[in-house]
Chain A
Amino acid sequence: MTFDWSVVWRYRDALALGTATTFLLTIATMAIAVPCGIVVASLRLYGAAPLRTFATAYVELFRNLPLILVVYWAFYVLPIVTGVGLSAFATGLAALSLNVTAYNAETFRAGINSIRRGQLEAALALGMTRTQALRRIVVPQALRRVLPVLASTWVSLFKDTSLVSVIAVGELAYVSMQARAQTFRVLEMLTAMAVIYWLLGYPQAKLVDWIERRYVVTE
């Protein structure tokens, strides 16, 4: 069996575009999921009873479902429920956001809980509303504490974007497998895909380790 590794070079533009799409998906999902995670965590901690139940149910639901199933489900259900035809990218983004928001909500809940209650009480005693106290005192401190976990979630998300390839979103995994189908160069393209993910993911994982060391909080 002969291997033709030049096919990877020939498809470099497509692979680069796929990589860019992967990054775009990751960034966009985090941009949505971090604020939404804070909101859901706040609902769960400080909301009225029905909101609290909703937030808890939401988090428990999406933490206990495989992401690939959420992707498929979003692909078929969202157009019907929302009445609009979403692009595959938007559907993938929606599914990823729903999933990561749930994880972030748990992360922020733990982070907010780790800020001593005295801070919130002092803020309230100074006359701030609860929202003001959260926004100006608690959440900024919690953000710093949860940074390592968020970084770890980022790396997981980066890898999970590969799952939206099943609904034909043109990220790295999809592009690689399309190239494989077109050229029949299975080993070359699949190995290239693995290597590219490794080249992108390894530094990110090391960065997460560094962030964990740098931002470790000991009280």
Chain B
Amino acid sequence: MERYREVVFRTAYLILGEAAEAEDATQDAFVKAYYALPRFRVGAPVRPWLLQIAANEARNRRKAAGRRARLALRVGADQPPADGAAWPEAAALAAEQRRALLDALVRLRAEDRLAIAYRYFIGLSEAEMAAALGCAPGTVKSRLSRALRRLRETLTACAEERAVDDGRRETIHG
């Protein structure tokens, strides 16, 4: 259990966006996994099996709570240069891009967000993703591709919203 604690918790957190809720979902997932052991196919990888259980628990919690609130995911601060020099412009730009990307990501449906998180945050292989998402291995690529397309669309929408907001501010203060 110790080996999978972090990845199970992070999966739940990516769906729920709250540490306390994610902790409860993690506990539920391990308890359910314990009782599901007899149905576990020997030789199958453990990690995606646990992640599937954890994701179900997290989704159920989110559904039961009728959550509509935005996820509280956030990007950690970059370490400033040790010599006290000014932050390079490129680093500031990268941080801004990460925030924009996260803004778009949290607007996605949980299924799309989870497919992206499994691939790029947790680093699951396609076979592991299929097991964790409970889909056929042949459909993983199309699910991921669909999620990325929606992410692009959302990124564009977010950028347009920001442009409109910036335009309003200029009008007010100009």
- Asked if A and B bind, the verdict is no
Binding site for B on A (CB under 8 A): none
